[in-house]
Structure 1
Amino acid sequence: MMAKNEFLPFATADGANVLSAEDYQTLRSRSNGFSAGVARSQELNTVWRQASVIAHVVAQFIADTNNSDVADDGDLDKLQAGLIQALSKNVNNTVPAASLKTAGITQLSSATNSDSETLAAMPKAVKAIVDNLSGGRLLNIQSFTESGIYTPTPGTRKIRVKCWGAGGSGARMSKQSRGSVSGAGGAYAEVLLDATSFSSVSVEVGTGGAASADGVSLDGGDGGGSYFGKHVICGGGKGGLIGKGLAKGGEPAGGNVMMVGGQSGKGEPTLPVF
């Protein structure tokens, strides 16, 4: 059942007793209104028709869109609410959401992790991107050749740490023997850290394995481990072994970019020469 519209047009039939458009435009009373005297019916009919036609069209739009009756009961608030509801429905139904191939309404979003192709970024999302970009330059590279403390430069947001463990020394053979057994390499690791989460970090730099004395057959000394706080640890390589297999390379821990274990020792001693 169709909704009813009680706002009806006036004098819309063919041959209605109204002024032509040209005569109405030049009618003197159209600007100032009718004064004392008698107004011609054609003039009044034209005024009423123009007002009633617009009222009817608007009311019919409300009735059709909302599928509800529009009563001529003088309730202005109800009529206005119906018009707003109809306009909202019409916009939502007529204008589609924008896409790469379709023009329409673009929805705003403040998400910083969205991969949508139909949403427009709001200032919050743009700021998050700019904040990350502003910390992207490689500045103030620091190298530690001995143990110490790392303190981020003011304004530093992220750091990339490269850590090496020290290698072990090779095994020493006596003068009556031939051959050699190398020490193992230390581990290597890289880690990317948020520098805003700490004020300083202890740095330990491992030292190479100690050499053996001349003239004796001894295993090599172990290399020392290196670490950057608790964030990344690189074990030192073991010293070269005599008759006990190959020395074991250092082991890494904590690297979120790269981790490589140390190379095992190489070589094999020969029998003593008498």
Structure 2
Amino acid sequence: MKKFSIFSSALIVLGVSGTASAAWTDIDLNKPGNIDGAAYLGTFNYNGQTYGPSTALSVAGQASPTIENKFDLKQLKPFTFYGKDRDDSTGHNDVIITANTGSAQAEAPVVYRFYRQKHSAAIINLSRGTEARHFAKAVVGEKTAAGTLVNGTYNYKGVAFTHFPRGDFNYQVKVTGPSNATGEGSFSLKGLKIPARQSYNGQDVYFDINRGTLNSSALAATSAGLRFEGAVTVAESGVSDATAWQHIKGPQSNPSYRLTLYGPKGAEIAGVIQGLPSRIGTAAIMGSKQ
């Protein structure tokens, strides 16, 4: 299984806004994302300003003649999808208007998708031509301090999403000590697509993961934060189209998840699922305590 690090402090430096350190909400698009180390590609327009890495090329129709490399997530409203606000594969660029950069992709816009909670956020970059559909670029946030959890049961509810599909996320954490806990949960993804050229019937095929299981995991207190890491199970009974699931080699996949606690006393949780069939790619999962 591919090893990954989604919470590298070397990539996202935590600090207080206005000091020498960058706040967790300051995203440097010149640096690789903290999931798989894949680079950000293309640009997006927000409030009249174009954002993207310095390697991006300006094109006609951009919101501004200059490309800013750093984007402040505090501009975004919490618990709102930006970039693709539909919960299926047919959504348009609802909130952030995107613009393509580079002649090789002149017909296909590069799309950024953001989802921010109060203490954490995920960034998805729909970028063609990258390895293994590395659309999920970063999960960042204000990490929960070790030794601050209060005994009890925490129920988190939120979203699961990739570059287009979107679904639900639920996770239950049972805390038995300041840094001791176990967690398990579930997720769904709606509107997964197999394009006609890759499908088994010569037509576009859409299907859903109605329920995937995030297997039980013990909390680990690490230098990267308080986090859970475990296996993911998707049974054929949990998908809407068993033929489609078999076609993309779902039963042979070996997915896993990693989640980190964010905010005071574990107010939020966020991370990714990796190892799903390559047709799906990495999914972000995040929720807030209910």
Instruction: Tell me the TM-score normalised to structure 2 length.
Output: 0.20
Give the number of the structure whose residues are more often strand, by fraction: 2
**Larger Cα-atom Rg:** 1
Instruction: Tell me the TM-score normalised to structure 1 length.
Output: 0.21
Give the number of the structure whose residues are more often helix, by fraction: 1
